[in-house]
Amino acid sequence: MENNNKQEFENLASMIKQGFDAVDARFEQVDQRFNQVDQRFNQVDQRFNQVDQRFEAIDKRFLKMESSLDFLEEGQEEIKSRLNNVAYRHELQNLEKRVDGLEKKLSIEVA
The tens digit of pLDDT for each residue in 12-22 reads 889 998 988 88
User: How do residues 81-105 score in pLDDT, each as one tens digit?
Assistant: 888 878 788 888 999 999 999 988 8
Average pLDDT along the chain: 90
For residue 93, tell me if it sits in a domain: no
For residue 48, tell me if it sits in a domain: yes
Total residues belonging to the chain = 111
Cα dihedral sign for 23, 24, 28, 31? positive
For residue 109, tell me if it sits in a domain: no
For residue 97, tell me if it sits in a domain: no
For residue 105, tell me if it sits in a domain: no
Contacts of 110 (CB under 8 A, 6+ apart): 103
Give whole-number Cα distances, 76 to 30, 33, 43, 63, 105, in Å: 67, 63, 49, 20, 44
Structural domains in the chain (count): 1
Which pTM value belongs to this model?
0.51
For residue 35, tell me if it sits in a domain: yes
For residue 72, tell me if it sits in a domain: yes
For residue 104, tell me if it sits in a domain: no
Structural domain containing residue 53: 2-86
User: How do residues 39-68 score in pLDDT, each as one tens digit?
Assistant: 999 999 999 999 999 999 999 999 999 999
